[in-house]
């Protein structure tokens, strides 16, 4: 049965009082007014109403003042006992300054069998919580309680319930619902307690283990000190490992080895092996990376400042850098550690700037640069390292390069990758397959480290002179950037802008001491050197400046010393390279071909003559099988087309000797086919080949001219040799776009599809009295 009460309000700020609870309350001015009103006009009764976040609840409790006094701190306080729930109504006038309201009592719901079950379950859970805390007196009180409603309201004392949960209990008159909520909350509390207890036990066990290990290590150090043993027993490595920023798996392996080291006798050689391994692992920059320079304009400026020309190469490098910068700006990180860029291979003859271009790329990116020379490497362990079981084992060159760079994203130049060999110790090229594969190198495993090393952020650049000696599987993992060499004008520009200032600095000279004219530079490039690169040119300039320095030391008054083309003989001696094509092709049977070698493009002379003996063909000049077959094809074609070519068949039925000069140099390939046909036709017709003509192309038995490679290098060689007319296969027309415009302007290029037309245009007109019959005789 409900009852209407008119009592002053005691606000409970951020607190809740449930029926049956006795609670001390601090009294502020508002609460003091409510207590005064209760004592004077309400029979020491008042309404204790929760006020959470400044908002009064719609429910409260009827509370009786048990005692009013002061706390030990001197602040006023009162002890109140809650007796029953009420629903707060409207405000009414009352005595004093307190807030008076009208409230209606709220009775608990009737109990059922379900109520008894819930009360029993809740009582067990509460006793379990109290037992874990050792509160035995409270356990006895809980066990004696038989009223389910009072048992539920006892939760007001629970410290693990917050004010909102207690308010929900206050506002719920149904005992079953209150008990269900409490069972759910107490079960969650027990689960939290179990987890917390497990964590505390683990922490306590860990601390005990650490303390025990510390004491044991201190005792071990004292024992070693008494025994006079050397070494730190692993304590130094342990301190370094704890301070190092290591990946989790690496950290586990390091501490495992440190534990082995501490348990190893000082006299055991294994201790030295473990220390060496730990030093190597701790010196690696596992999580160190240098920030990339994403400014493409700055990168291009760096490349242009370091190298003249090479526009195609620079464009490819800038494209690569632009893609990396764009991915970084958009946060497109590689999935699974896989890198995004291809491995670039710089292929070209010596002296064109492959290695220095790698250094420029590193400067443009703002990365560390490391060069790994692979020339002559034959042991697979040089790449992947030696296993730790071997005496003197070391990590491979890749790991040592990363350690030397001091970061996980350097530019690593694999120099002379085409000169890697193989023998009974393994194939280093096969070991490089994993290093250069972006799909695999994020988990590269060196035999010595036996740990996964992430190489996906390393920018690998490889250099090679030729690609013929690189295994196909390795070729497939690299993207080629061809460096074909420089024209004479480019060499002069490089000499003026790069080589000459460097050599003058080395010789301690200035422009006030020596002036080298442009005609002298052109003469040095054309007559004293003949190469695709500029190394010989650099040496020639150094020699000129050394002689100039000697002259100035003898007679300083001659400064500034002028060096012109006419003065070169006194500095460099006679010209080493002069046009000799006209002299060598002055007789029938000699034709000028174009070839590609490891040092760039070059001219190749094919000589044919008739000798006494059985009909047949002799070939000399260290020719490979393919080139020998080309000679046989050329002879068969000319014999089968004597009338079309206008040659004497009798000459071709003699014993013929075909020779390619520079016999000490091995030669092979099919591109000399048209040159052999022309040389044979020249011999059989008695007409010399034009001195200004060079040619290249593979020939078939039907006379078709097939495409060949190395067009740019061959045309640069023709230009250097003074040729003005070049015959190329018609299907190589697209390759002319790669040839510098100034070279194309100086050359007359004929694209041919049939060798008969080439022979007709390449042979000089017949002179009076000369004929094929006369030659045959």
CA–CA gap between residue 493 and residue 515 (Å, rounded): 15
Q: Is 671 a catalytic residue?
A: yes
φ/ψ bin of 233: left (φ > 0), alpha (ψ from -120 to 50), beta (otherwise): left
CB 456, CB 339: distance < 8 Å: yes
Spatial distance between the Cα atoms of 47 and 498, rounded to a whole number of angstroms? 97
- Strands 45-52 and 4-13: what pairing? parallel
With tokens 């037309």, the residue in question is 757
Instruction: Collect all residues with Cβ–Cβ distance below 8 Å to 236 and sequence separation of at least 6.
Output: none
Q: How far is CA 511 from CA 517, 562, 563, in A?
A: 11, 10, 12
What token pair was written down for 334?
A: 């590689």
Residue 477, SS3 per DSSP: coil
Q: If DSSP codes are grouped into helix, strand and coil, which group holds residue 236?
A: helix
- CB 588, CB 680: distance < 8 Å: no
Residue carrying structure tokens 């003249």: 308
Tokens 């040095």 belong to residue: 524
Q: Which residues pair with 87 in a beta bridge?
A: 59, 104
Residue 714 falls in the annotated catalytic set = yes
Token digits of residue 219: 């005792």
Q: Is 234 left (phi over 0), alpha (psi -120 to 50) or beta?
A: left
Q: Which residue blocks in 158-268 are alpha helix, DSSP H?
A: 163-170, 175-227, 235-243, 248-263
- Each as own residue / partner, the long-range contacts of residues 736-743 (CB below 8 Å, 24 or more positions apart, any chain) are 736/711, 738/312, 738/484, 738/711, 738/712, 739/711, 739/712, 739/715, 740/487, 740/490, 740/716, 742/487, 742/489, 743/487, 743/715, 743/716, 743/719
Task: Please say whether the beta carbons of 70 and 15 come within 8 A.
Answer: no
φ, ψ at 561 (rounded to 5°): -85, 125
**Residue 185 to residue 552: CA distance in whole angstroms:** 100
CA dist 72 and 507 (Å) reads: 94
How far apart, in whole angstroms, are the C-alpha atoms of residue 235 and residue 598?
A: 55
Q: First CA to last CA across the chain, in angstroms? A: 148
Report phi then psi at 633, rounded to 5.
-65, -45
- Phi first, then psi: give them for residue 176, nearest 5 degrees: -60, -45
- Which one-letter DSSP state was computed for residue 610? E
The residues, ordered by sequence, that sit 6+ positions from 752 with a Cβ below 8 Å of its Cβ are 697, 705, 727, 728, 729, 730, 758
Measured between alpha carbons, how far is 582 from 588 in angstroms, rounded to an integer? 12
Looking up tokens 């800038």 gives 318
Q: Contact 308/498 with Cβ under 8 angstroms?
A: yes
Please identify which of the residues 671, 682, 685, 712 carries the catalytic annotation: 671
**Catalytic sites, residue numbers:** 671, 714
């Amino acid at each position: 049965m409900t009852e209407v009460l008119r009592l002053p309000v005691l606000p409970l700020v951020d607190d809740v009082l449930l029926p049956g609870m006795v609670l001390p309350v601090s009294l502020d001015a508002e609460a003091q007014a409510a207590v005064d009103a209760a004592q004077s006009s309400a029979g020491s009764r008042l309404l204790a109403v929760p006020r959470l976040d400044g908002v009064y609840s719609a429910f409260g409790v009827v509370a009786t003042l048990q005692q009013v006094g002061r706390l030990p701190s001197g602040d006023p306080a009162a002890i109140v006992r809650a007796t029953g729930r009420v629903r707060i109504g409207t405000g009414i006038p009352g005595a004093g300054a307190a807030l008076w309201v009208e409230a209606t009592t709220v009775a608990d719901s009737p109990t059922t069998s379900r109520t008894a079950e819930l009360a029993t379950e809740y009582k067990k859970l509460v006793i379990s919580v109290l037992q874990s805390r050792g509160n035995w007196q409270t356990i006895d009180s809980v066990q004696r309680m038989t009223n389910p409603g009072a048992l539920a309201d006892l939760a007001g004392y629970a410290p693990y319930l917050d004010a909102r949960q207690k308010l929900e209990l206050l506002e719920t008159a149904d005992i079953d619902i209150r008990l269900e909520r409490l069972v759910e909350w107490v079960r969650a509390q027990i689960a939290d307690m179990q987890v917390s207890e497990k964590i505390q036990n683990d922490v306590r066990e860990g601390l005990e283990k650490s303390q025990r290990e510390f004491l044991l290590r201190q005792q071990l150090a004292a024992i070693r000190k008494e025994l006079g043993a050397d070494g730190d027993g692993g304590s130094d490595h342990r301190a370094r490992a704890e301070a190092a920023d290591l990946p989790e798996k690496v950290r586990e392996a390091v501490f495992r080895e440190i534990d082995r080291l501490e348990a190893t006798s000082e006299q055991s050689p294994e201790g030295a092996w473990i220390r060496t391994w730990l030093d190597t692992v701790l010196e690696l920059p596992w999580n160190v990376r240098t920030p990339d320079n994403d400014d493409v304009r700055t990168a291009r400026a760096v490349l242009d400042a370091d190298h003249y020309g090479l526009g195609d190469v620079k464009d490819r490098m800038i494209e690569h850098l632009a893609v990396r910068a764009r991915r970084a700006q958009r946060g497109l990180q590689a999935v699974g550690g896989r890198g995004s860029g291809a491995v670039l291979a710089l292929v070209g003859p010596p002296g064109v700037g492959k290695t220095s271009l790698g250094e420029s790329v590193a400067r443009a990116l703002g990365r560390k640069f490391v060069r790994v020379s692979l020339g002559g490497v034959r042991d697979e362990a040089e790449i992947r390292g030696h296993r730790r079981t071997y005496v003197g084992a070391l990590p491979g060159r890749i790991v040592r390069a990363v350690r030397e760079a001091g970061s996980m994203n350097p530019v690593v130049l694999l120099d002379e990758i085409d000169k890697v060999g193989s023998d009974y110790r393994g194939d280093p090229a096969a070991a490089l397959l994993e290093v250069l594969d972006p799909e695999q190198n994020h988990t590269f495993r060196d035999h010595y480290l036996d740990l996964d090393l992430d190489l996906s952020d390393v920018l690998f650049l490889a250099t090679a002179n030729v690609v013929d000696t690189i295994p196909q599987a390795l070729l497939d993992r690299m993207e080629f950037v061809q460096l074909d060499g420089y024209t004479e004008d480019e060499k002069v520009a490089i000499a003026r802008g790069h080589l000459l200032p460097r050599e003058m600095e080395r010789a301690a000279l200035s422009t006030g001491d020596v002036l080298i004219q442009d005609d002298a530079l052109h003469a040095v490039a054309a007559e004293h050197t003949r190469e695709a690169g500029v190394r010989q040119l650099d040496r020639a300039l150094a020699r000129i400046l050394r002689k100039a320095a000697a002259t100035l030391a003898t007679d300083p008054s001659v400064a500034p010393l002028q060096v012109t083309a006419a003065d070169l003989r006194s500095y460099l001696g006679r010209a080493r390279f002069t046009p000799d094509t006209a002299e060598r092709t002055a007789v029938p049977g000699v034709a000028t071909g174009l070839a590609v070698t490891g040092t760039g493009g070059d001219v190749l002379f094919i000589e044919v003559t008739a000798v006494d003996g059985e009909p047949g063909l002799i070939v000399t000049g260290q020719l490979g099988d393919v080139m020998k077959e080309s000679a046989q094809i050329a002879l068969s074609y000319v014999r089968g087309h004597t009338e079309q070519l206008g040659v004497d068949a009798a000459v071709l039925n003699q014993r013929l000797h075909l020779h390619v000069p520079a016999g000490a140099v091995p030669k092979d390939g099919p591109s000399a086919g048209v040159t052999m046909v022309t040389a044979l036709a020249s011999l059989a017709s008695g007409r010399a080949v034009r001195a200004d003509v060079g040619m290249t192309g593979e020939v078939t038995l039907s006379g078709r001219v097939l495409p060949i490679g190395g067009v740019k290098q061959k045309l640069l060689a023709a230009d250097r040799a003074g040729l003005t007319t070049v015959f190329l296969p018609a299907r190589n027309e697209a390759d002319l776009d790669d040839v510098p415009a100034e070279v194309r302007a100086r050359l007359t290029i004929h694209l041919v599809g049939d060798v008969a037309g080439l022979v007709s245009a390449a042979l000089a007109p017949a002179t009076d009295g000369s004929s094929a019959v006369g030659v045959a005789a």
